[in-house]
Amino acid sequence: MKLTDYKVDKKAVKKSAKRIAGNEIIADFYRQLYTETAREKHLNRAESVCGCFQLWDIDHYRKQGIKDIKRINLCKDKFCLNCQNVQSKRRYTKYKPVLDDLMTERDIYHIVFTVPNCDGKELLGTLDRMYTKFPYIVRYFGGERKCNGIDFRSYGYIGAVRGLEITTKATKGKQVEYHPHFHCLFVLHKKGVNGKRKHINDFSYHNGKLRRKFTDFEILLQKTWYLFYNDQRLTADVVNSLQQGYSVTVDRANGNYKEVFKYAVKGSFKDGAIFNYDVFETLYYALHRRKVLQGYGVLNKYDFETVAEAEVEKVYAEILAELRKIEDPEKQLLTLQEICAELEHDDITYISKNAIRRELLHNDA
């Protein structure tokens, strides 16, 4: 065990410090939300968003030049770029080894389910509908529901994970457009959905250029998703007679899972902040109490925590035991400003339990 294997990347700290640059603006949006609703919680939220990443609890092992970061206060807000980055990395770290393991026996596909863009007033209803209808897809793949003439079981589905992303397009003088979609990973049979890309439809074009042809499987999912979303019955006949569904793309993920664990509203940021208060308010209510990430099948039942955490705790305890042989640590409470000044010196090594977790799980995020 080498301590330096688990040190905190100083560049990553600087990057995070940059990520909170837009938090003042987010805090202002919460203050405005408070003036409109008179709900105290929005005011408290404004304060915690401002204070995010600002205070660091540290154990300083002076003789050894080591600082162990015990805790950093984080706001955990869904609009804080720093906290969302932390969370998406944590999710990725959690799922990555499990998915890699499944990949030895199965193929993992990145499937994106889209619905037509909507405006701010329609966003909440659109998301509610997407959330209600998506589980039907999983039920058909899993065999809980059956469709005469279409054998969803044949793809060998054993699990999936579904993440939400909402991108926002603001064009001057036009109403803001929202583009909600699900990034999913589906665990299917090896080579379960190979097929020729031969179909061309409206979703094949991007800015007028032909970008993509679709397989039979993609066309089936496009139509199936459309039918569920619009409350229509799924039968082989209806699928055959339907001209076009909604955009769905299927690609072999091959170990590349990041899109799924990305934070939901990253695409609504510009230069480190949400476009404007209206967009913020729309997204705030649309995402209120909404579960952004959901696992199904083997990816729901899996007990992620215990597998990884025991090893992390063990390594961390070993490191602390080594450090304490020389000296007991001195407690420090530092501000981000003080930390940033210190990062310029090379004589201090920062460690943290998080850094150990990342290293042990070979997280390249």
**Of residues 54 and 224, the one with the C-beta less far from Zn ion:** 54
Tell me the closest approach of the beta carbon of residue 319 to Zn ion, in angstroms. Answer: 27
Judged by CB under 5 A, the stretch of 2-10, 74-82, 120-128, 260-268 that binds Zn ion is 74-82
- 83 interacts with Zn ion by CB under 5 A: yes
- With CB under 5 A, what is the number of residues at the site for Zn ion? 6
- 75 interacts with Zn ion by CB under 5 A: yes
3-state per-residue secondary structure call for the chain: CCHHHHECCHHHHHHHHHHHHHHHHHHHHHHHHHHHHCCHHHHHHHHHHHHCCCEEEEEEECCCCEEEEEEECCCCCCCCHHHHHHHHHHHHHHHHHHHHHHCCCCEEEEEEEECCCEEHHHHHHHHHHHHHHHHHHHHHHHCCCCECCECHHHHCCCEEEEEEEEEEECCCCCCCEEEEEEEEEEEECCCCCCCCCCECCHHHEECCEECCCECHHHHHHHHHHHHHHCCCCCCHHHHHHCCCCCCEEEEECCCCCHHHHCCCCHHHEECCEECCHHHHHHHHHHHCCCCCEEEEEHHHHCCHHHHHHHHHHHHHHHHHHHHHHHCCCEEEEEEHHHHHHHHCCCCCEEEEHHHHHHHHCCCCC
- 52 interacts with Zn ion by CB under 5 A: yes
**Of residues 80 and 339, the one with the C-beta less far from Zn ion:** 80
Tell me the closest approach of the beta carbon of residue 48 to Zn ion, in angstroms. Answer: 8
- 273 interacts with Zn ion by CB under 5 A: no
Judged by CB under 5 A, the stretch of 4-12, 75-83, 151-159, 313-321 that binds Zn ion is 75-83
Tell me the closest approach of the beta carbon of residue 260 to Zn ion, in angstroms. Answer: 22
Judged by CB under 5 A, the stretch of 38-46, 82-90, 203-211, 298-306 that binds Zn ion is 82-90
Judged by CB under 5 A, the stretch of 52-60, 149-157, 213-221, 300-308 that binds Zn ion is 52-60
Residues that bind Zn ion (CB under 5 A): 52, 74-75, 80, 82-83
